Structure 1
Amino acid sequence: MEDSKGIYAEERIAVPDEFANVFSYFYTARNDSAHPVHKTLIPSFQTIIAFNFGSPARVRFGDNALWVEQCIVLGPLKRPIEYILPPDTHLLVVNFRDDAFYRFFGPVMFSEMIARHPDELLEKSCFSELWLRLKNESPHRRPGLILDFCRPYLRPRDAAFECITEARPDYVRMNAIRTIAQETGQSERNVQLNHKKYLGYTAKERSRYQKFLNALRMSQGISGKADWHQIAEASGYYDQSQLIHDFRHFMNVSPGQYLKFQAGICQTAS
């Protein structure tokens, strides 16, 4: 998408079928204006890698703030992230699907959100070298080069995660862990551990997020007054106050404020 002056542009780039269960898409944002661009990224429960090929971008989450000069891993994205693109900033963001981050980086402690240079996770300079190569290439070639880089490192999906994904649990209407355990003959404790290990979050966290996401999708595009009571009920909430609480938790705004400012809010979930 490009503004009327042609000075700020953002775009989603599809990935080939070979990587359909690895990445949701690539996202690019370029600020060629004379002023900073402020954006909010709402939670997606995905983990992302952001490459920057221009002026350092500022990222803020909670009480933490940092500058992205080359590349950074952020995730799983459970809370909103505010970011500022100064003039001459060019971002390229890779969105991992499901267990793809685990398949690439291996087991990582997910006690809190990761916000680190990817080389720190690998204890190698692979991504610094990749960033340098990407910087010297044209923007339209960069996604393909990233896919080529990832191909030899991606491990096959573990059978333990296949049990989770094949069950296709309904996180809103049922106990997902219990359902998976019953269908696969595992203990609930084992399913819980694998869920956190491969995805980076618990089923309880996912259930809460899924209800919020349902409400968000129902409210998108509403320009007038929304029936929040009806939206809350249809999304699986007990009452409207619970919906309001989750909007503030996941986005730092009320439902009404979201409708007013949704043009400046980005979403990575597919």
Structure 2
Amino acid sequence: MSDPGTYETYRIPVSPEFREVFTHFYFAANRSETTISKTFLPSYQIILIFNFGEKAFIRSGEQQIEVEKCLLLGPVKKAFDYTLIPGSEILVANFKDDAFYRFFGNALMEKNMAVHPDDLTGENCFSGVWSELKKLPVNEKRVDFILDFCRPYLKDRNTLINRLTGFEDKNLDVVKTLAGETGQTERNIQLQHKKQLGYSAKEIRRYSRFLKAIEMLQQHTSGPGINWFEVIHTCGYYDQSQLIHDFKYYLGLTPVNYLKFQREICNPVS
């Protein structure tokens, strides 16, 4: 996606020690003389955005938010746009599964989808982190600083959540299965899922189905070569209308329109 001299973007992987905490870090910078806007697919992750340059903006639906120094966003359940004016540069940390809960003690931000991280801690620690990151010359050093900073604050992972995120049998209901295994009620499993991951098991099943469809469409550059019935069957949709409904829900686009604009849409989990 990088365009030398205009739009620079790349991912920074994390070390094995932190692969249960962050999926990756993402950097984007506008080196051009015009404003650049991109669309991000939903990731069902909470993201932490640091802005080191000129103004950057996030738009979700009708809500537009300016990213000043740092901003927490999510869980990201629908596509959103970000806009970088000339001179903007952002570094994004993508929390994985329950990592945000393990750090902040809460995974629910739905009443206020975007907040400054200091509002959750009651201290100015993230403003201080931003100041230190601003001094560092390269993003890899910035990532190392963030990882060192978060290390002492991470709580141990809940055994139940470990089972929920690692459950692989798609033919079984994860909530019912784990309720039977642990002797807990299904309601309690559901509450823990929502509390620590920020979404329900039903939500993530629907999202996984949509994401599988996206991955199939990304293998094609134009619509005529796509076997839509294969996409519907492989991804577990009942019919074409259900497929279209999911694309409109997550992206505000039909599958066909997604194909037309997919070069402008970033997939944070691919």
TM-score (norm. length: structure 1): 0.94
Cα distance, 1:160 vs. partner?
3.2
2:92 alignment counterpart: 93
> What SS does the corresponding residue of 2:258 show, helix, strand or coil?
helix
1:64 alignment counterpart: 63
CA distance in 2, matches of 1:178, 1:24: 28
1:41 alignment counterpart: 40
1:220 alignment counterpart: 218
Contact 1:167 1:183 in 2 (8 A): no
Deviation digits for residues 77-132 of structure 1 (CA, Å, limit 9, x no counterpart): 00111111110000100000101000000125444463000000111101000001
CA distance in 2, matches of 1:151, 1:184: 30
> What SS does the corresponding residue of 1:268 show, helix, strand or coil?
coil
> What SS does the corresponding residue of 1:145 show, helix, strand or coil?
helix
Q: Which amino acid in structure 1 is aligned with residue 267 of structure 2?
A: Q
CA RMSD after TM alignment: 1.5
Cα distance, 1:162 vs. partner?
2.7
1:241 alignment counterpart: 241
- Stretch moving more, 87-96 or 252-261: 252-261
Q: Which amino acid in structure 1 is aligned with residue 245 of structure 2?
A: H
2:184 alignment counterpart: 186
1:230 alignment counterpart: 230
Contact 1:31 1:85 in 2 (8 A): yes
What stretches of structure 2 of length at least 5 have no aligned partner?
none
1:264 alignment counterpart: 264
1:121 alignment counterpart: 120
Contact 1:77 1:113 in 2 (8 A): no
CA distance in 1, matches of 2:169, 2:195: 17
Segments ≥4 residues shifted beyond 6 Å: none
Number of aligned positions between the proteins: 267
Q: Which amino acid in structure 1 is aligned with residue 214 of structure 2?
A: L
1:207 alignment counterpart: 205
Contact 2:48 2:93 in 1 (8 A): yes
Contact 1:103 1:154 in 2 (8 A): yes
Assess, with a 3 A threshold, how the Cα gap between structure 1 residues 259 and 113 changes in structure 2: closer, same or farther. farther
1:29 alignment counterpart: 28
1:107 alignment counterpart: 106
Assess, with a 3 A threshold, how the Cα gap between structure 1 residues 84 and 166 changes in structure 2: closer, same or farther. closer
Percent identity of equivalent pairs: 46
Matches within 5 A, 1:144-163: 144-163=144-163
Deviation digits for residues 50-102 of structure 1 (CA, Å, limit 9, x no counterpart): 10001111111022111101110001100111111110000100000101000
Contact 1:80 1:250 in 2 (8 A): yes
1:54 alignment counterpart: 53
CA distance in 2, matches of 1:134, 1:164: 34
Aligned pair partner of 2:195 in 194, 197, 200: 197
Deviation digits for residues 219-261 of structure 1 (CA, Å, limit 9, x no counterpart): 1031232222220111010001100111111111111111111
Contact 1:52 1:92 in 2 (8 A): yes
Contact 1:76 1:113 in 2 (8 A): no
CA distance in 1, matches of 2:110, 2:169: 23
CA distance in 2, matches of 1:82, 1:63: 11
Q: Which amino acid in structure 1 is aligned with residue 190 of structure 2?
A: Q
Assess, with a 3 A threshold, how the Cα gap between structure 1 residues 65 and 236 changes in structure 2: closer, same or farther. same
CA distance in 1, matches of 2:88, 2:80: 17
Q: Which amino acid in structure 2 is aligned with residue 10 of structure 1?
A: T
Q: Which amino acid in structure 1 is aligned with residue 71 of structure 2?
A: I
Contact 1:46 1:269 in 2 (8 A): no
TM-score (norm. length: structure 2): 0.94
> What SS does the corresponding residue of 1:128 show, helix, strand or coil?
helix
CA distance in 1, matches of 2:254, 2:49: 28
- Stretch moving more, 120-129 or 107-116: 107-116
CA distance in 1, matches of 2:82, 2:253: 16
